[in-house]
């Protein structure tokens, strides 16, 4: 088990190094920062001095190492646009994105598993068929369209929910939360649905397919032959086996929820890191872009790692086989 986790961590580090390289490459290849930083009136001496100051006179490898060193400490330099440390800007924006992602991930998982199990157990009937058809819409409609539709219905026509922003937030020692105020919660509803709907339909279809597969297994027939109730069979025997692959996908989806919150955040003007990134792209604010890239990759790799460990918790077969393999 420990050897397995160490191996996974090592693999994760390699992935991060590769992403770090790409992030670093952006600095070198998207224009010369010295040109941007010094105005028109510059001398060759100014340029040399600044190059030396920024370490740009060093060999490529040394620069890369320095970048990694700084990045590992969370230091990505100053934002070109705002002139403040990038890490500070991101820390300010992160709570909004994390809260949005968690809520919509939670909605997607609960809704997806619930509907998936329902449509798998009741294969025939009007309601399950309707849900299956409706889920196609969820899968095929682009996120921004869903967002705009929701805004049109619930904000413009009905006027029930706000169409943009985060509402009032409470500051809890550096972490701003919208969970504690009514307007914060109200503001969360539409973006969370927009962001989670696609994931929910995806999880639902996955759960349904897996569950139907599991329900055909011998141990389910054997459970029936032992006279267990349908409830026990469906929820104790089938669901647990269904969730093994579902957890991987859901875990990975949580990563993409955060990463691709960009669109939802843009539609709802949600003050999170996604919106920050879009603005950074518009202004070629490379330190912000690089930091965002690194942050997302750390997150993906971290979630992957957690999912792998979760496997052990659910499936006893892995625990044994790995330890046997370690001898």
Partner 1 sequence: MVQPVLSIKSLVVEIPTRKGVLRPVDQVSYDIFPGEILGIVGESGAGKSMTGNAVIGLLERPARIVSGNVLLSGNPIHNLSASEFRKIRGKKIGMIFQDPLTSLNPLLTVGEQLVETIIEHLAVSKKEAQERAIAALEEVGIPAARERIGSYPHEFSGGMRQRVVIALALCAEPDFVIADEPTTALDVSVQAQIIALLKRLCRERGVGVMLVTHDMGVIAEAADRVAVMYAGRLAELGAVRDVLTAPKHPYTYGLMGSTPLASRGLKRLKQIPGSMPRLGALPEGCAFSPRCDFAQEVCKTGSSPFIADEDAQAACWFPLQHTKLRSSK
Shortest distance (Å) from residue 237 CB to partner 1: 5
Alpha helices for the chain (secondary structure H): 2-29, 33-37, 44-54, 60-72, 86-121, 126-140, 143-150, 182-215, 218-225, 230-231, 239-259, 261-267, 273-282, 286-314, 316-325
Q: How far apart are CA 125 and CA 111, in angstroms?
A: 19
Number of residues that bind partner 1 (CB under 8 A): 24
Site stretch for partner 1 (CB under 8 A), options 201-209, 214-222, 256-264, 301-309: 214-222
- The yes or no reply on residue 219 touching partner 1 (CB under 8 A) is yes
SS3 155: helix
Which parts of 230-249 interact with partner 1 (CB under 8 A)?
230, 232, 236-237, 240-241, 244
Shortest distance (Å) from residue 315 CB to partner 1: 7
In the list 174, 227, 282, 325, the residue contacting partner 1 (rule: CB under 8 A) is 227
Write each residue from 293 to 322 as x if it is in contact with partner 1 (CB under 8 A), else as -, in one continuous string: ---------------------xxxx--x--
**Distance spanning both ends of the chain, measured CA to CA:** 12
Q: Which residue has the tokens 């109200």?
A: 186
Shortest distance (Å) from residue 224 CB to partner 1: 6
Shortest distance (Å) from residue 316 CB to partner 1: 5
- The DSSP letter of residue 80 is T
In the list 30, 137, 172, 217, the residue contacting partner 1 (rule: CB under 8 A) is 217
- The yes or no reply on residue 327 touching partner 1 (CB under 8 A) is no
Q: How far apart are CA 306 and CA 302, in angstroms?
A: 6
Shortest distance (Å) from residue 212 CB to partner 1: 14
- The yes or no reply on residue 229 touching partner 1 (CB under 8 A) is yes
In the list 2, 45, 158, 225, the residue contacting partner 1 (rule: CB under 8 A) is 225
SS3 172: strand
- Asked if 157 and 165 touch (Cβ cutoff 8 Å), the reply is no
- The yes or no reply on residue 224 touching partner 1 (CB under 8 A) is yes
Q: How far apart are CA 284 and CA 31, in angstroms?
A: 10
Q: How far apart are CA 170 and CA 154, in angstroms?
A: 25
Shortest distance (Å) from residue 309 CB to partner 1: 17
- The yes or no reply on residue 53 touching partner 1 (CB under 8 A) is no
Reading the block at residue 5, the tokens are 């986790």
Positions that interact with partner 1 (CB under 8 A): 217-219, 221-230, 232, 236-237, 240-241, 244, 314-317, 320
């Amino acid at each position: 088990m420990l050897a397995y986790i160490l191996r996974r961590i090592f693999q994760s580090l390699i992935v991060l190094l590769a992403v770090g390289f790409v992030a670093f490459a952006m600095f070198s290849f998207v224009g010369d920062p010295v040109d941007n930083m010094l105005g028109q009136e510059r001398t060759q001496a100014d340029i040399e001095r600044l190059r030396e100051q920024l370490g740009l006179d060093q060999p490529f490898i040394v620069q890369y190492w320095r970048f990694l060193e700084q990045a590992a400490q969370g230091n990505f330099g100053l934002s070109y646009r705002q002139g403040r440390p990038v890490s500070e800007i991101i820390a300010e924006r992160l709570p909004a994105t994390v809260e949005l992602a968690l809520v919509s991930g939670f909605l997607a998982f609960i809704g997806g598993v619930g509907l998936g199990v329902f449509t798998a157990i009741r294969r025939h009937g009007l309601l399950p068929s309707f849900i299956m058809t409706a889920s196609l819409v969820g899968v095929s409609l682009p996120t921004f369209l869903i967002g705009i539709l929701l805004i049109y219905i619930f904000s413009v026509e009905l006027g029930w929910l706000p169409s943009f922003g985060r509402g009032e937030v409470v500051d809890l020692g550096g972490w701003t939360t919208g969970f504690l105020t009514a307007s914060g919660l109200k503001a969360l509803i539409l973006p969370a649905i927009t962001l989670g709907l696609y994931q929910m339909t995806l999880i639902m279809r996955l759960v349904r397919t897996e569950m139907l597969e599991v329900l055909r297994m011998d141990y389910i027939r054997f459970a029936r032959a032992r006279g267990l109730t349908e409830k026990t069979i469906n929820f104790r025997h089938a669901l647990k086996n269904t969730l093994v692959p579902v957890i991987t996908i859901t875990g990975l989806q949580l990563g993409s929820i955060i990463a691709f919150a960009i669109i939802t955040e843009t539609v709802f003007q949600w003050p999170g890191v996604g919106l920050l990134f879009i603005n950074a792209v518009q202004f070629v604010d490379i330190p912000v872009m690089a930091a965002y890239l690194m942050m997302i990759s750390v997150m993906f790799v971290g979630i992957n790692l957690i999912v792998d460990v979760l496997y052990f918790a659910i499936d006893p077969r892995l625990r044994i086989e790995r330890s046997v393999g370690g001898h």
